[in-house]
Amino acid sequence: MKNSVENKRERYKKKSKKNLEIILIILMLFLGISIILISLIFFNHKEKEEKKVETSSETVEENNVIEIVIPKEEKRKINDWRLILVNKENPLPQDFTIELANVDKTRQVDKRIIADLKEMMQSMKSVGINNIWVQSAYRSIEYQEKLYNNRINEYLKLGLKKEEAESLTLKYINKPGESEHNLGLAVDFNRVNEDFKNTKAFEWLSKNAKDYGFVMRYPEEKANITGIEYEPWHWRYVGKENAYKMNELNMCLEEYIKYLEEN
Would you name the residues annotated as active-site residues?
231
> What sign does the CA torsion over 66, 67, 70, 75 have?
negative
Least distance to Zn ion from the beta carbon of 171, Å? Answer: 12
Tell me which stretch binds Zn ion (CB under 5 A): 6-14, 145-153, 207-215, 226-234: 226-234
- CB–CB of 180/223 below 8 Å? no
- Nearest residue to Zn ion by CB is 234
Instruction: Write the binding mask 30 to 59 for Zn ion: x where contact by CB under 5 A, - elsewhere.
Output: ------------------------------
Least distance to Zn ion from the beta carbon of 255, Å? Answer: 19
User: Per-residue DSSP letters for 190-235?
Assistant: TT-SGGGGGSHHHHHHHHHGGGGTEEESS-GGGHHHHSS---TTEE
Least distance to Zn ion from the beta carbon of 124, Å? Answer: 18
H or E segment to which residue 82 belongs = none
In the complex with Zn ion, the residue whose CB is nearer, 210 or 234, is 234
Figure out which of the listed residues 110, 116, 178, 188 binds Zn ion, where binding follows CB under 5 A.
188
In the complex with Zn ion, the residue whose CB is nearer, 182 or 242, is 182
In the complex with Zn ion, the residue whose CB is nearer, 96 or 230, is 230
Instruction: Write the binding mask 228 to 247 for Zn ion: x where contact by CB under 5 A, - elsewhere.
Output: ------x-------------
In the complex with Zn ion, the residue whose CB is nearer, 74 or 194, is 194
Least distance to Zn ion from the beta carbon of 233, Å? Answer: 7
Interaction of residue 217 with Zn ion, rule CB under 5 A:
no
Total site size for Zn ion, rule CB under 5 A: 2
In the complex with Zn ion, the residue whose CB is nearer, 110 or 188, is 188
Long-range contacts formed by 144-151: CB under 8 A, 24+ apart: 144/173, 144/174, 144/175, 144/176, 144/177, 144/179, 144/181, 144/182, 145/176, 147/173, 148/173, 148/174, 148/175, 148/176
Tell me which stretch binds Zn ion (CB under 5 A): 55-63, 113-121, 184-192, 247-255: 184-192
In 3-state terms the chain splits into helix, strand, coil percentages (rounded to 5) of 65, 10, 30
Q: How far apart are CA 109 and CA 154, in angstroms?
A: 28
C-alpha to C-alpha distances, 119 to 8, 48, 126, 214, nearest whole angstrom: 130, 71, 10, 12
Binding site for Zn ion (CB under 5 A): 188, 234
